[in-house]
Amino acid sequence: MKWMPLVVVPVALAACSDPREGVLSGYAEGEYVRVASPVAGALDKLAVERGYRVAANQPLFVLEQVAERAARDQAAAQLATTQAALENLKKGRRPEEIAAIQAQHAQAVANLAVSSANLERQQQLVAQRFVSPTVLDEAGGAERRDRARVAELAAQLQVAKLAARIDEITAAEQSVAAAKEALAQAQWKLDQKSQAAPAAGLVQDTFYRPGEWIPAGAPVVSLLPPENLKLRFFVPQPQLGALAVGSRIAARCDGCGDPIPATVSYIAPEAEYTPPVIYSRESRAKLVFLVEARPAAADATRLHPGQPVDVTLGGAGR
C-alpha cells in the first residue's frame, strides 16, 4: 500500500491545472462619467441614488440658483430697455410732439400773414405821407421776424419726422447686442445649476447630499454608460499575431450566461509582465500584451467593473 500516495499526488496536481487551452484571463473595467457643474453652489436637489439606472437627459441634480435667476431676469430687463430705446430712435419723435410743432407752425404762418398785410398797408401810408418812415421800418422788421419763425418751425417739423442720426442708431444697436450677450451669459450660468445625464447608464456613486456646498467643477454623480465598459485581458506574444484592432473575441464570466462577444479596440505597443491582478503560479513570469475589447451596449449590462472574465479569441466561447 506504499505505492498509493504516488498515484494520488499526480492526480491531485492534474486537477488543479486549467485544462482549457486558448483561454485568456482578464477583467471588466468601467470608464466613469463624473457629472459636475462649472458653477459653485449648495446642492438643492439630488434626483438619483447609487444603483439607479437613468436615461439620457434625465435630471441628476440641481444647485441653488437664486442669484443666477435674479441675474438672468436683470439681464432680460436690460435687453428690453435697450431694444425699446433703439426702436424709439428709428421712429423719430412721438406723434404728440409732432402735433405740437405743427400747431406752432400754423400759428407762425398766421402771424406772418398779419405782419405781411400790415407791412403792405404801412407802405401805402408812407407813400401817401400819412405816416413816418419809422413806422414802415417797424412793420418790415415784424414781417421779417414772423417769416423767420415760420422757416424755423418748418425745419423743426421736418427733423421731428426723421429718425435719429446714423451714429446714434449704431450706438443703440451695439448696446442691444451687448445686452443680448449679457443675457446669454446669465442664462448659461442659470442652466449650469441643473445637470442631466449625458447618456443612459448606471449611477455608480453620488458624492454630496442636499445642503452641502459644492465647489465649481466638483463631481456630484458618477455615471457608467454601458458603452463605457470594456474588457481588459493579456495575450502572450505567440498568440498576438492572431489579433488586430477590430478582431472579435468572446468572454465568459460567472453567472453571465452565454458568451459575450466583443471587438478589440486597443492592443498595447509594448509587452509587460503579467500584472498582479491575474497572477498565478503558471503565468507570473510570462511577458504578455494588454488588449482591450468593447462589447455591445446591450451585452455590457451583464458585466460589472472588476469582474474576472475568461476570453477566447476568434469570438467562439468554450
Q: Do 173 and 79 share a structural domain?
A: yes
Give the pLDDT confidence of 220-233 residue by residue, as tens digits: 999 999 999 999 99
In this structure, are 26 and 83 located in the same domain?
Answer: no
pLDDT at 6: 31
How confident is the prediction for the chain on average, in pLDDT?
85
Burial degree of 276 (CB within 10 A; 0-12, 13-18, 19+):
exposed
Please indicate whether residue 119 or residue 204 has the higher confidence score (pLDDT). Answer: 204
| 129 lies in the same domain as 271 | no
- Confidence band for 20, pLDDT divided at 50, 70 and 90: low
User: Is residue 291 domain-shared with residue 256, that is, in the same domain?
Assistant: yes
pLDDT tens readout for residues 255-292 = 888 999 999 999 999 888 776 655 455 555 578 899 99
Predicted confidence band of residue 154 (pLDDT cuts 50, 70, 90): confident
Residue 2 lies in a domain: no
111 and 175 together in one domain = yes
Same structural domain, 77 and 176 = yes
pLDDT at 163: 58
Claim to verify: residue 84 and residue 175 sit in the same structural domain? yes
- pLDDT of 278 reads 55
Tell me: pLDDT of 1 over 50. no
Count how many domains the chain has. 3
Task: Kindly report the CATH number assigned to the domain that includes residue 200.
Answer: 2.40.50.100
Q: What is the pLDDT of residue 315?
A: 63
Q: Is 310 or 112 the better-scoring residue by pLDDT?
A: 310
Does some domain include residue 148?
A: yes
Question: Is residue 3 in some structural domain?
Answer: no
pLDDT at residue number 167? 80
Task: Establish if 14 belongs to a structural domain.
Answer: no
On whether residue 1 sits in a domain, the answer given is: no
With bands split at pLDDT 50, 70 and 90, how would you rate the model's confidence at 11?
A: very low
Q: Each residue of 23-64: pLDDT tens digit?
A: 898 999 999 999 999 999 999 999 999 999 999 999 999 999
Q: Which of 124, 158, 186 is the last residue of a domain?
A: 186
Domain annotation covers residue 233: yes
**Residue 270 sits in a domain of what CATH number?**
2.40.30.170
Same structural domain, 172 and 80: yes
Model pLDDT for residues 107-147, shown as the tens digit of each residue = 889 888 888 888 888 888 778 877 778 877 788 888 888 88
Its domain, for residue 207, covers: 33-65+194-224
